[in-house]
Structure formats: C-alpha cells, structure tokens
Amino acid sequence: MFAIIGILVVFGAVAAGYLMEHGHLAVLLQPAELLIIGGAGLGTLLVANPLRILKKVAAGAAGIFRPSRFGRERYLATLRMMYELLQKARRGGMLTIELDVEKPEESPILSAYPEFLKDHHARDFVCDTLRMVITGGVEAFDMDQMMELDMDVQHHSAEEPVTALSTMADSLPGLGIVAAVLGVVITMGALGGPAEEIGHKVAAALVGTFLGILLCYGLVGPVSQNMAKSTAEEHAYLYVLRMLILAFIRGQPPVVAVEIGRRAIPAHVRPSFSEVEEACRNQPAAPAAAEPAA
C-alpha cells in the first residue's frame, strides 16, 4: 500500500509542480522517448542476468505492493511452533521429531503453521539443521558455522535481483541522455524549418533526459531499495531461528531457547515477553513418544 502511495506522490508532485509553472502535460507525453529509455533499460536487464534472476526480479518487484511477511504475528507464531517442536524433543528425545523434520507437511506440529511451510527457505533451514542434530556427532560451534554458511548463501541469492534492478536503475539517466542526443540529431535535421517545429523537437529531446532521471530516482531505484529491505527482513528472520536452535543445541530448555530467539527479533516487530509466554502456555500438549515394541 505505501509503495503505491509513494509512487503516486512522486509522479503527482512532479506533475503538480510542472502545472504550477503553467507547463503543458502533453509536452511530457513522448512515447518515442519512453520507448528508447524503457526498452533499452529492459534490454540491459536481459543482457546482464540469466532467466532465474529475471524471475526473482519480477517476483520481488510485485512483492513490494504486499505487506511484509515478517510481522509481529509471524514471529509470535514461529516462536510458538519452535517451542512445541523443541518441547517434544526434550520430553521424548530427538528421535521423536525425526518424522516431523523429514516430512514437515505431515507433521502434526509443523502442518499447523502453513505460512512457515510455504516459506521453503525457512522450512529447509530448520528441518535440515534439526536433521543434523538428530544424526548427532556435530558440535554446537560447527552447527553454528553451518547455519551461518546457509544464511550467507541464501542472503547472496536473495541479493541478486536487488543488484540487477539497481544496475538497471543506474543505467536509466545515461539512457535518457542517449534519447536526448537522438532528439538533438533529429532537431538538427529540422533546422531551417518553422521555429515552432524546432522548439517541439528540442522539448522532446529534453524530455528524454527528464524521463531517464525520474525513472531512476523516482521509481526503479526506490523499488530496488524496497526489495533490499525485504531481503534484510528475511535474513533477520533466519537469524532468529539460528539463535533459537543454537541455544537448544547448547542444552538450554525450550523456554529459554525461545526467549533467546525473542531477544534476537528486530525491535519494531518483537512480541513482548508476556505475549510469547501466553502463546507457549496455550500450545497443545506434545504427542507422547511411542511405546517400544515388546
């Protein structure tokens, strides 16, 4: 919502200021200039990036119009889910959660949190880490290094579309100059004609520079920055999971591990101690471990 409002404010303020100076909006409507700048900008994006990054760019750009996936409720639900899972492991042993992490879609605990299951990055991060814990023989320090490596790889992958869009934004002012130069070339060919016609062609050429700068700093650049903030939010979410799991691996009880995870949550979306305590207190009883066969 705020992204839409911001875009409207940018273009609305520019148009309003132009009209206050008695400008004519029709002069700014230059389809040829927009085609040169927009088409060339899109071309640079296609030349510089493989298909997998282009898909991420499209998905990321569309995602700025949706609310953040990592709000207070998401963190609260995650802390409750991890408490249930770790409490089950503490009561019955790590082997009791083996099926939960091997087939999370069939887990009675994890399947109750569909938003977590849909987030394959976070789901795989948790399940793969707990698989290693169940396997045993890996020290807490090595598990921490492993989780940090996983986070770094995912963060690098998430930054690729941001970098691609930022590069495209940086190219737009230059492409605006290209459009302006082409407009000047056309103008030079019209010298000797009516002054009004020459003036129209000069104005069209200057609009090319205007559009390149406006699209760079007023649209594409801010969109890439918004995508970068979304990437940072996902990284922060994985960091909370990392701190929580690491605390449990080091022998902390689930309630302490959850509190350590809560302290790692960014302040603007961090649930209070009482909210987390209430959520964990109301969690359903963990399934009892199966009796060994006689």
Residue 268 lies in a domain: yes
22 found inside a domain = no
Q: In this structure, is residue 97 part of a structural domain?
A: yes
pLDDT higher than threshold 70 for residue 279 = yes
List, for residues 120-176, the tens digit of each pLDDT value.
999 999 999 999 999 888 899 999 999 999 999 999 999 999 999 999 999 999 999
Q: Which residue range forms the structural domain that includes residue 79? A: 31-281
Instruction: Classify residue 293: in a domain, yes or no.
Output: no
Tens of pLDDT, residues 191-208 = 777 877 888 888 888 898
54 assigned to some structural domain: yes
102 lies in some domain = yes
Asked if the structure places residue 264 within a domain, the reply is: yes
Q: Is residue 53 part of a domain?
A: yes
* Prediction pTM value: 0.86
The whole-angstrom separation of Cα 193 and Cα 165 is 42
In total, how many domains does the chain have?
A: 1
Pairwise CA distance, residues 212 & 69, whole Å: 32
